[in-house]
Amino acid sequence: MSVDRDRLWIEQFRKNLNYRVDLIPPAGRSDLEIIYAHLTAPIILDTKSNWGTFVETPFKEWSPIMQVMTGRSTQVWLATEQAWMGTEPITFQLQFALLAVDDAEREVLQPSQNLLMWTLPKDRTDPIEPPVPQLHLKRGASLWIGYNIFIQEALLPQSVQVSYSTVMDPHGYPIRADITMGFVTMSAVSAVELSNWFRGSGGGPSFI
């Protein structure tokens, strides 16, 4: 495949709104920038409700002896019934790519380094400030995914993994970076709040 055809494919990929993701950094982090990237894998969301027993088995420590002596345990059916113990915050994972068209340093290296900073404290001052400043935890980061999904539920960046291409431009910068990024919501999310993520309004930040 020629260089011109490669460039054409990348430009078409960039213009396809189905693949776009706009990553809006956590509030209070003026050192971070909005990053525009391109999804390369399905979005993985994980919700979890915890269930457990609410009644202790009576005389649990005597159960083995009771089984030997009577052939029965001290377990009662009520002690096996489940009760809801709470819902955990939603976690999800995005996989996307940064692609160089004109300037690998500006389009790949700089934004990928910026994303790595999302999970790091801003500087080495004491006491250490969290990656998302305490005063802004309820705002956190936001995402536009594709043209329909807007997530603004105090997203906290958990992990960032960057894989750089071994193909470099003439200046020694990688022409592509593949990134896996994990997020968790500040708190558990209700069904109504989750449905609001899928707005379908198409009014996200302008895609460059």
pLDDT tens-place string over residues 94-140: 999 998 988 999 999 999 999 999 999 988 988 988 888 777 767 77
pLDDT of residue 2: 43
Q: Are residues 168 and 181 in the same domain?
A: yes
Q: Are residues 42 and 56 in the same domain?
A: no
pLDDT tens-place string over residues 168-185: 999 999 999 999 999 999
Q: Is residue 140 part of a domain?
A: yes
Domain boundary among 85, 104, 137: 85
Q: Are residues 126 and 179 in the same domain?
A: yes
**Identity (one letter) of the amino acid at 52?**
G
Q: Is residue 156 predicted with pLDDT exceeding 50?
A: yes
Helix (H) or strand (E) holding 39: strand 35-39
Q: Are residues 148 and 64 in the same domain?
A: no
Q: Are residues 188 and 149 in the same domain?
A: yes
Q: Are residues 80 and 156 in the same domain?
A: no
Q: Are residues 74 and 169 in the same domain?
A: no
Q: Is residue 206 part of a domain?
A: no
42 touches 135 (CB < 8 A): no
pLDDT of residue 63: 67
Q: Is residue 204 part of a domain?
A: no
Q: What is the dihedral of CA 187, 39, 110, 91, to 10 degrees?
A: 20
Q: Is residue 130 part of a domain?
A: yes
Q: Is residue 185 part of a domain?
A: yes
Q: Are residues 107 and 170 in the same domain?
A: yes
**Identity (one letter) of the amino acid at 150?**
F
Q: Would you give the distance in Å from CA 170 to the centre of its chain?
A: 34
Task: Report how many domains make up the chain.
Answer: 2
Whole domain around residue 96: which residue ranges? 3-47+88-196
The Cα-based distances of 189 to 30, 137, 156, 177 in angstroms read: 27, 15, 14, 32
pLDDT of residue 13: 61
Q: Are residues 21 and 77 in the same domain?
A: no
Q: Is residue 202 predicted with pLDDT exceeding 60?
A: no
Q: Is residue 57 part of a domain?
A: yes
Q: Are residues 67 and 114 in the same domain?
A: no
Helix, strand, or coil here: 138? Answer: coil
Mean of the pLDDT values across residues 25-32? 88
Q: Is residue 74 part of a domain?
A: yes
Q: Are residues 111 and 182 in the same domain?
A: yes
Q: Is residue 101 part of a domain?
A: yes
Q: Are residues 124 and 62 in the same domain?
A: no
